[in-house]
């Protein structure tokens, strides 16, 4: 039980590092533990998630934009 508390504390203390490459919708599902990739596409349609861009028919996200979006979400909660 003590190990579990330590793991939770470690997770909340330091931001998780993002990969040094453009992220895919599947990456966002994994990073944010989302139910499905459809959530990412809903965010895009509603313009509520991190900004993304198309490379051909593929959707990608800049890690810096994702980090900025997370920071803005955290500020919204703290306010």
pLDDT digits 0-9 by tens, 21-73: 999 999 999 999 999 999 999 999 999 999 999 999 999 999 999 999 999 99
2 is a domain residue: no
Instruction: For residues 50 and 14, give the distance between their C-alpha atoms in angstroms, rounded to a whole number.
Output: 20
16 is a domain residue: no
6 is a domain residue: no
Domain count, the chain: 1
Concatenated DSSP letters of 16-71: PPPPSSPBPHHHHHHHHT-S-HHHHHHHHHHT-S---EEETTEEEB-HHHHHHHHH
Range of the domain at 54: 23-78
Q: What is the pTM assigned to this prediction?
A: 0.74
List the single range of 3-7, 11-15, 20-24 with lowest mean pLDDT: 3-7
37 is a domain residue: yes
Q: Over 60: is that where the pLDDT of 18 sits?
A: yes
14 is a domain residue: no
15 is a domain residue: no
64 is a domain residue: yes
């Amino acid at each position: 039980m003590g190990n579990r508390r330590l793991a939770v504390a470690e997770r909340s203390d330091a931001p998780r590092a993002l990969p040094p490459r453009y992220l895919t919708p599947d990456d966002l599902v994994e990073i944010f533990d989302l139910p499905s990739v459809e959530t990412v596409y809903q965010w895009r349609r509603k313009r509520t998630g991190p900004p993304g861009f198309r490379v051909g028919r593929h959707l990608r996200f800049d890690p810096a934009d994702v980090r900025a979006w997370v920071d803005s979400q955290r500020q919204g909660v703290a306010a």
